Chain A
Amino acid sequence: MGFPATIRDDFPILRVRVNGKPLVYLDSAATSQKPRQVIDALVRYYEEYNANVHRGVYSIAERATAEYEAARAKVARFLGAAGPEELLFTRNVTEALNLVAFAWGRSHVGPGDEILVTEMEHHSNLVPWQMLAQACGARLRSIPFDDRGRLILDDLDRLLTDRTRIVALVHVSNTFGTVNPVAEIASAAHARGAVVVVDGAQSTPHRPVDVGALGADFFGFTGHKMLGPMGIGGLWGRRALLEEMSPFLGGGEMISDVWMDHATWNELPWKFEAGTPNVGDAIALGAAVDYLERLGMEAVAAHEREITAYAMGRLGEIPGLRILGPAVGAERGGVVAFSIDGVHPHDIAQVLDTEGVCVRAGHHCTKPLHRKLGIGASARASFYVYTTTAEIDVLTRALLKTRELFSVAG
């Protein structure tokens, strides 16, 4: 079942002890741990060929440029892009989505137009659209979710109108774990002439992604959740849309020529990459893609299905514990958010920490979702390629201890 235990040896941090206990890292939805191969790629860049890209004629600058562009090509292929020119490097998903909101949104959305999101969006795929709507006099609407964290699509025909310009939705919810039917929604959105923007933060690391098959027009992802470093992510966009868009940021690299009073733009993808890019981290992200492809994304997804099903079963044994999102057996990503009667999520995370267990506590940047559920916060355990059933057992025992600590006083 799952991956051989030897892949854990690739992750140096998994040998660390916390509070005298082995580290049980169950917060991969926040950020993944990094294998030696990724760390080495980053160090190799800085130790052997650190140079700025697209300008130097000397050897190490040529190598830096070649490796940077090779990383782009790898990521583009990984996502099913038509070509590397459709893949823009950004800092993270947040920057990718803001890029779309500014560079596409500001010139295509006007007064009275509509932007459709869902109620389960991460703030990064909600706030940029609120800002766009306010700036352009557009109206923000949302697709609701049901009590199991599934989108209610019955009214989609009513929510989508001829004024809908953008449909922005999360592929896999970072709180519920719901896998949204993006292709179905995209097809309905396209019938109304809207563009479809997908937040792929929690899907890209965990399952095979084909942006074409999804029916997306823009797709954002981040490197640090998929074994890569922080500070590198990207936006895939359909070539035709990227071609007609104006740049997001102005500066060096993104220009073709510059006069004192105007400038012309570089070709794709560099039109959207003003300033010196994050070369080392992009190259390390390429190494992360290599690592994931060696494992095989189908195998990654299968491992997570097993671990998640096991976790849902074990957590279900704990009295008073309520799991948010899809029920046992339903398709879901490798995240399990939960609450325990009478114990605040902060206190859960605090007690778990003394057992070496790392979980997230809070609103996971989905405040409107939590508000709708009538809770301020939840705890969340999330998994990845290195997660074992033994770690889930440690989590379960630690949760039972937490309950005991707080019910003693009650």
Chain B
Amino acid sequence: MSLDDLYRDVILDHYSHPRNKGTLDPADVVREGANPLCGDEIRLFLTVRDGVVTDVRFDGRGCSISQASASMMTERIKGQPVAEAERLIAAFKAMMHGEPPAEALGDLEALQGVRKFPVRVKCATLGWVTLEGALAEVGNR
């Protein structure tokens, strides 16, 4: 197992320079996620207008994989319809659970290497699982 599979440049770049890091006030939904085993924490802030994710921020602390994955995620969903975000969540989770990507996921594919390190998969999916919960909250209103 090579470290290069795990720490791809794009991942280290997002870790060092996270996109959309911070908070939103007001936000339509604030959702917290945590990985109780390792202590990684994330807070996700969303504004949603007419079924579109108009803005998104995240903060918290965690390893390079969880932070980079969350950063890439916010970049991908900002300005996208909620339905598209939900589709991406499903595609990303499928990829992390070993299914070949049904579509090109772009930079997110850099996270495929994490699959070789099973304990780190939960790091990669933390932001996405949190987003899934956040969108469900919005949908329930």
Contacts and interface: CB of A to CB of B under 8 A. Distances in A.
Contacts of A345: 63
B16 A410 contact: yes
A400 interface: no
Contact of B117 (A350, A376, A405, A410): A350
B13 A409 contact: yes
A350 B37 contact: no
B3 A346 contact: no
A324 B126 CA distance: 28
B1 interface: yes
Contact of B1 (A354, A363, A408): A354
B9 interface: yes
B49 interface: no
A46 interface: no
Interface in B47-65: 61-65
Interface in B8-45: 9, 12-13, 15-16, 37-41
Interface string A388-410: 00000000000000000110111
B6 A350 contact: yes
A351 B3 contact: yes
Contacts, number: 56
13 contacts: A19-B1, A344-B61, A346-B65, A346-B120, A354-B2, A376-B40, A405-B3, A405-B7, A406-B15, A406-B64, A409-B9, A409-B13, A409-B16
B14 to A, nearest CB: 9
A361 interface: yes
Contacts of A351: 3
Contact of B38 (A362, A405, A406, A408): A362
B4 to A, nearest CB: 10
B123 interface: yes
Contact of B3 (A344, A354, A376, A408): A354
Given A19-B1, A409-B9, A409-B13, A377 B64 contact: no
